[in-house]
């Protein structure tokens, strides 16, 4: 038996495999825009048991990481298992405060990340500099990912799968309350701009929404929308309702 047959091929997570692959020659003369998203994975040294399992190839999907029961405490784990995450900075607010030593300026950043296919995370961070605070908010949002429950719960729809919420659910943040209701395919996202951006990254394409309270508050509006998605996961559903509403949770595997 040859050495090639004795060599065992280790399957790595998609993000880790892309980071460790040989660089391809690019014909783009404009140069790279922004930092390399895979640079952190190339120099990653796992510090948790789950991180070592991802690095060794024992865990190759985000669903396996959730089923393992270990907490996800390293951003590189999310980057390795879900490399197609997209981030969106919803708001950057400057906060000025007078102290004995003078005026102190800090920034409040609201960020949402998602893969537009069943996973979304939201976080708010404060810091002295905008760029570092945005980076911190993105990392915190990745560690706050939740699976999104989707289905076809509208009476206007025909039978089959759907990308709406399966039933009416309400999320709250401060005085802001957002109620999400099932909508038929093709209706779109009938909700405010910040809620629409959160639902788009979550993979929901059709929804009716009703809001109450102080809806002008950007952070509370986005948080209330995110909390409504959290409430979906807390609802107990029977197998019959799951089949009737065509409910899926997380990514839709091909």
Q: By residue range, what is the domain housing residue 40?
A: 13-19+36-83
Residue 113 falls inside a structural domain:
yes
Q: Name the token pair of 174.
A: 């401060």
Give the C-alpha distances (Å, rounded to integers) separating 157 from 168, 181, 183, 186, 206: 15, 13, 8, 10, 11
116, 42: one domain: no
Instruction: State the Cα–Cα distance between residues 65 and 80, nearest whole angstrom.
Output: 11
Residues 140 and 165 grouped into a single domain: no
Is residue 213 domain-shared with residue 180, that is, in the same domain?
Answer: yes
Please give the tally of structural domains in the chain: 3
Shared domain for 40 and 120, answered yes or no, is no
Can you give the pLDDT of all 254 residues of the chain as single tens digits?
Answer: 454 554 456 788 888 888 877 766 544 545 444 456 677 888 899 999 999 999 999 999 999 999 999 999 999 999 999 999 999 999 999 888 877 778 888 999 999 999 999 999 999 999 999 999 999 999 999 999 999 999 998 888 777 788 899 999 999 999 999 999 999 988 999 999 999 999 999 999 999 999 999 888 889 999 999 999 999 999 888 899 888 888 998 887 65
Distance separating alpha carbons of residues 217 and 213, to the nearest angstrom: 10
Helices marked H in the chain: 3-6, 14-20, 39-42, 49-56, 62-67, 75-81, 130-142, 193-202, 218-234, 239-244
With respect to residue 75, please indicate whether it lies within any of the assigned structural domains. yes
62-87 pLDDT, tens digit per residue, is 999 999 999 999 999 999 999 999 99
Do both 135 and 177 map to the same domain?
no
Q: Are residues 126 and 199 in the same domain?
A: no
CATH number of the domain at 132, please.
3.30.160.20
Residue 178 CB burial class (10 angstroms; 0-12, 13-18, ≥19):
buried
Q: Is the pTM of this model over 0.85?
A: yes
């Amino acid at each position: 038996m040859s050495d090639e047959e004795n060599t065992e091929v280790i399957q790595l997570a998609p993000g880790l495999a892309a980071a460790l692959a040989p660089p391809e020659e690019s014909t783009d003369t404009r140069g790279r825009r922004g930092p390399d998203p895979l640079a952190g994975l190339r120099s990653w040294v796992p510090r948790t048991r789950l991180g070592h399992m991802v690095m060794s190839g024992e865990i190759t999907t985000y669903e396996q990481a959730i089923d393992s029961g270990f907490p996800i405490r390293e951003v590189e784990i999310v980057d390795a298992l879900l490399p197609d995450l997209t981030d969106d900075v919803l708001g950057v607010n400057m906060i000025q405060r007078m102290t004995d030593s003078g005026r102190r300026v800090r920034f409040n950043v609201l960020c949402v990340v998602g893969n537009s296919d069943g996973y979304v995370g939201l976080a708010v961070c404060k810091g002295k500099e905008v760029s570092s605070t945005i980076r911190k908010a993105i990392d915190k949002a990745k560690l706050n990912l939740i699976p999104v429950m989707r289905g076809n719960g509208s009476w206007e729809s025909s039978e089959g799968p759907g990308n709406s919420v399966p039933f009416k659910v309400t999320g709250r943040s401060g005085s802001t309350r957002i109620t999400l209701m099932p909508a038929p395919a093709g209706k779109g996202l009938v909700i405010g701009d910040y809620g629409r951006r959160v639902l788009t990254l979550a993979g929901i394409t059709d929804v009716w929404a009703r809001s109450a309270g102080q809806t002008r508050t950007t952070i509370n509006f986005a948080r209330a929308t995110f909390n409504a998605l959290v409430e979906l996961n807390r609802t107990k559903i029977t197998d019959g309702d799951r089949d009737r509403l065509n409910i899926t949770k997380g990514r839709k595997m091909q």
